[in-house]
Each structure stands twice: as structure tokens, then as C-alpha cells.
Structure 1
């Protein structure tokens, strides 16, 4: 009798070998129908993976396919590729706290790292998730800053600071690394020191960063020795016009009255006086005294 199972097996292995020789991998799409043989290679490999997971494949056959480069769980192959990109990114930047748009080795590593930081991002299988987390932690123990109590942006800037003993005095606003203004960020951390958690403070202090000193307040301003302040230019001009009006008319102006000054300027002295009454709570003692008793006119309370 002809062993059809063995014949099918040999045809599939030979097709996989030819595909591997040509494409240099065995990540064959399920629907692939190529020149390797009559049997669709993608479907055949899918059947072999199913048999392997079910424990229905012999050790000899499993070893033969593994020798060709078959990956039993395709999701693991994708993770290994992204892990390699993560390792390359860390070697360049010293952190896995990448910007979301970051790319390396033609892989959108920033978006990938953002995705796997989310709950369940490393897969639904607990064992596999733990193994993947351990592989990432071996590259960067701080790869998920949210679990440490700070943001990805904070971690990214912190990773750009010079090592302990380096001159931090040179890291001033405007000093950038990989497009990030590390100097401005460092200044902000020193000023906002009390809002950082203990671990953040410890990490910065280890590098020599200290809290910014409190700004010293200048001496309190004192009133001029010449006497109470009587206001700015607008108040003085209005007061001058009021004094001249009273000297001319011997009475306070009405709402519509005006005063012509020596330089020809026409001032609405009545409107000015009404406005000062409305702003009484914003006038100081000197202004009130100057407004209420110009040229000996009695106090104008409430008018």
C-alpha cells in the first residue's frame, strides 16, 4: 500500500524548502498558491501548526519543520521582530519611552510601544504576556512609566539627561537632544520639585539635580516722602481743570460743563467729577482729599 500521508508530508516539506530558499522565510500567507507544488503551501503549513498545537505531530516532523524555520505561533514571530526594533531604538535613545510617531528599521516602533503599554497589550495569554514583559524589561526596566507614577514624556526627557557627574549647568533652555528641549524641561522640574513624587526626586537628585531656590522678594514700596499720591496723569489733568472751573465759576460743575485750558484743550470737567464719585472706592486718601476740597470748596460728600 502507498502511504499517502507520508507522500503528502514529503511534498509539503519540499515545497516549504523551495519557498524558504526563494523568500528567505516561511511566513507564508494562508491563501498562498505558488510554484512550490500542487498543494497550497500556506494552507498546508496552517494544518501543520494546528497538528503541532494539538500534540498530534511527531517529534521528528516538528524538528524537521523547525529546521526549515517554521514558527509555530505567528504572533510570536511578529513580537520578535518588534522586539528587535525596540532593542535598536533603545541603543540609539537610551529609553523605550518613544514618541508615538517614532520609527526604526522600517517599523512604527512608537505606536507599537504605545499599544503594548495598554492593559492587555502583550496578549491575552498570561504566560506569554509575562514572557514578553520580561523580554522588554531586559531592554529597558522603565519601559512602562505609567506603572512608576509618571508619564512617558517625563521618562523620555529624563533619559536624555547626562550621566551622574556630568555638567548639568550646561543643560539650559534651548539645549535639545533628539528634538526634545531637555534644558527647558529640566528647568521646569527644578521649579516644580515639590510636585514630583519621591522616586522622581530621587532619580534627579542622583544625577545632581536640585530644587530651584525660591525667588527673593524685593523690599516693599513706600509712599513718597512728599506726601500722599494723587494719581496719574489723567487724574491730575482732571483735577487741574476742576480747580480752574471752580476758580472761574465759584461752584462745582454740572454733568455737561467743560473747562477750556490755557493751551486750548477743552476738558469735560463735569463728566470727570462724576466719574471720580463713581470710582470712590478705587481712590486713595490723597486722591479723595484732592478731589473733594479744590480751592477751598467744601467737601462734596455723595455728590
Structure 2
């Protein structure tokens, strides 16, 4: 059999990932299915190992580990793996999602359980520039004491405390590396470079 999927009687089609160059004979597929019907050569080995160990743990009567460190079996932190599957279920293949949900009982994490996305450098720059602009509008200058903390409201309407004095000092010391656009933005609000 060449690339494609294999339909199992007890589950979804499986993306076997064996293209022409890596095609496995049907006999070998059947032998591997006898060992573990959930195997797939296209999936990472560590994912399959953790899936298999979690399934064994459940079959032995254990509860689904939900927190890092709950169950460590054969060196694999099953709680951490389960949590990662909950948070990234939408990034798995359809077959992996089906296995996680129907065989292991893993449900996707609720939106309020997901960690906040990391801020990009551009987002951090914009927030610090907004803090500098706020300071300039209030004080009329950008001679910010090194230890000054400026409170601003971010795009999520959360109040944040920014180390504006340190940030301004860093921009001065890195002036040669700043883009002309950033230099212009700071100059527009009274930045002194020396």
C-alpha cells in the first residue's frame, strides 16, 4: 500500500504517511497493527510513545493525568503530555485528535485555560512607546528617571507597569541600531539622544 490512510474498524482513518519512497508492504502494516493499532510512521515517535503509555495507564485503571508530574512512567511525564495535547489539540492531525478524544478522553482546553499569547517585540515596542508618549504629554519632556515605572492600559484593557526609565535609557544607548522610523517616533515626542 502506498501513502494515504488506513481505515480501522474501531476508529478514524489514519494518516499513515508512507509515500512511494517509504511505502510499507500491507503485510508489514498488519504486523505493526498487531503490535499497536494506533501506530503511524508519520507521527513523532515521542508522541506515539506518550500516547501508548497513557493508554496503558488508563487500561490499568489509572485516571487521566492532568498536571505535569502527576504520572511519570518510563521517564515520560504523562501529565505534561496530556496537558500539551489539550492546549494543542487543534494542531494535531484528525486521526490524532480522534485518538486523544475517543481513546484517552482528552478534551480541548477551554479558552480561559489557555495561556495568553506571547507579545511580539513590535507589540512591546508599541506599548513602551505609548508609555513614553503618555509620560511626555503629562510631563512635557522625556528626561525619565532611570527607576521610573509608568502605568499604562494595554490593548486588553489591563493596567501594566512598565519600567519606562530603563527603556528610555536603553533606547538612547542603542540609537545607532534603531530603525529610522523608531528614531523618528521617539524624536516626535521630545527624545534627547545625549
Considering fraction of residues, name the structure with more helix: 1
| TM-score after normalising by structure 2 | 0.43
For the pair shown, which has the larger CA radius of gyration, 1 or 2? 1
| TM-score after normalising by structure 1 | 0.30
Considering fraction of residues, name the structure with more strand: 2
Select the structure with the greater relative contact order (CA < 8 A; seq sep ≥ 6): 2
